[in-house]
Amino acid sequence: MYSLFFKTVFARMDPERAHRLGFALIRFAARVPPLRRALAARLAPRRRELRVEAFGRVLPGPFGLAAGFDKNAEGIDGLAALGFGHIEVGTVTGRAQPGNPPRRLFRLTADRALINRMGFNNEGSAAVAARLAARSARRSGTEHRGGHSGGTGEGPVVGVNIGKTKVVPEEEAAADYVASARRLAPYADYLVVNVSSPNTPGLRALQATESLRPLLGAVREAADEAVPERRVPLLVKIAPDLADEDVDAVADLAVELGLDGVIATNTTVAREELGLRSDPSLTAETGGLSGAPLRERSSEVLHRLYARVGDRITLVGVGGITTADDAWERILAGATLVQGYSAFVYEGPGWARRLHEGLAARLAASPYGTFAEAVGAAHREAEAA
């Protein structure tokens, strides 16, 4: 049914307008409790074998929604009702900004891919923190009436992805990230430092270890000061376009600094080597490409990270994940959690449920009793061969 709806409605609309419409419907469903509960009963993962532990929380399933869909933390509960095991909001910057001028989002339908040059359009960390605080207060009231709390307790696991405000010069980037971390850490189950979007000038230069080390240290200190009663897990999100030696350097730095995880990967600026089939006028658009063509390189980066860090930190696999087979391959490669976004556009609201059901079937057919046992199994099997 969704495939027909996409072809007849969304495919005829500007991609950004279609996103706003689809997201508005999700938010509407979340505001109608009987509808939200009906969606969750149908779509949310409930099988015990799907549960995974990460960042001090037990998640209902390993598959979550990557940053970029819900930039301003407006639809967390509706997205959770659709079956995502965790929701990563953002990217959120220190100051509000409109992002790049339209058009800035393009569908490569033949490739099941997207190109975006959104430019971190968001309301800023103060506004997003206020929204998360209000949501936390509402859910705490629900808990007192016999329901569940959210944010940092029961309910959807919420990650917050933070980036650099465009107008902030590179030498002031750390202060910009720190301002966001202080505001947002109290409401985050984990924080992500995004230094890998290609759409903010100079941002990817922060992936160099000489820049990344002080930045991550400053964000870690800010999160600890903002939330002294608990450790907010801190991750870094990296690009697929890093050279292999730079992937190794980030892996070593993550271990050195005691980071809680690495997310691999963000979008790519590559084009020619991806074998794209869409119209060249589309593939030539500038911005980050996501979706199915990114699958191979993203998987390579994940494999390399796990070979370097093993089980010492948590790895999150994202990039080109569409099917349960894609997600299962990332788990075997070393990912504790997997994420997607681009395929949501093409697969529709039942996507997370189908993927989780497929993962449960693959786990049942495997020699592993839990997903935790399956994480990194491809490396152990290769060593034993």
91 labelled ligand-binding: yes
28 labelled ligand-binding: no
3-state secondary structure the chain: CHHHHHHHCHHHCCHHHHHHHHHHHHHHHHHCHHHHHHHHHHHCCCCHHHCEEECCEEECCCEEECCCCCCCCCCHHHHHHCCCCEEEEEEEECCCECCCCCCCEEEEHHHCEEEECCCCCECCHHHHHHHHHHHHHHHHHHHHCCCCCCCCCCCCEEEEEEECCCCCCHHHHHHHHHHHHHHHHHHCCEEEEECCCCCCCCHHHHHCHHHHHHHHHHHHHHHHHHCCCCCCCEEEEECCCCCHHHHHHHHHHHHHHCCCEEEECCCECCCHHHCCCCCHHHHCCCCEEEEHHHHHHHHHHHHHHHHHHCCCCEEEEECCCCCHHHHHHHHHHCCCEEEECHHHHHHCCCHHHHHHHHHHHHHHCCCCCCHHHHCCHHHHHHHHC
Beta-carbon contacts of residue 279 (< 8 Å; ≥ 6 apart): 110
User: Are the CB atoms for 316 and 285 separated by under 8 Å?
Assistant: no
> Among residues 197, 290, 298, 299, which one is catalytic?
197
118 labelled ligand-binding: yes
User: Are the CB atoms for 235 and 261 separated by under 8 Å?
Assistant: yes
Written as six digits, the tokens of 26 are: 């999700």
341 labelled ligand-binding: yes
116 labelled ligand-binding: yes
161 labelled ligand-binding: yes
72 labelled ligand-binding: no
**Is residue 3 flagged as an active site residue?**
no
Q: What is the dihedral of CA 165, 20, 279, 118, to 10 degrees?
A: 0
194 labelled ligand-binding: yes
71 labelled ligand-binding: yes
70 labelled ligand-binding: yes
68 labelled ligand-binding: yes
117 labelled ligand-binding: yes
Binding-site residues from annotation for substrate: 71, 116-120, 194, 199, 266-267
Which residue positions form the known binding site for FMN?
A: 67-71, 91, 161, 194, 237, 265, 291, 320, 341-342
Annotated binding site: 67-71, 91, 116-120, 161, 194, 199, 237, 265-267, 291, 320, 341-342
Q: Which residues are catalytic?
A: 197
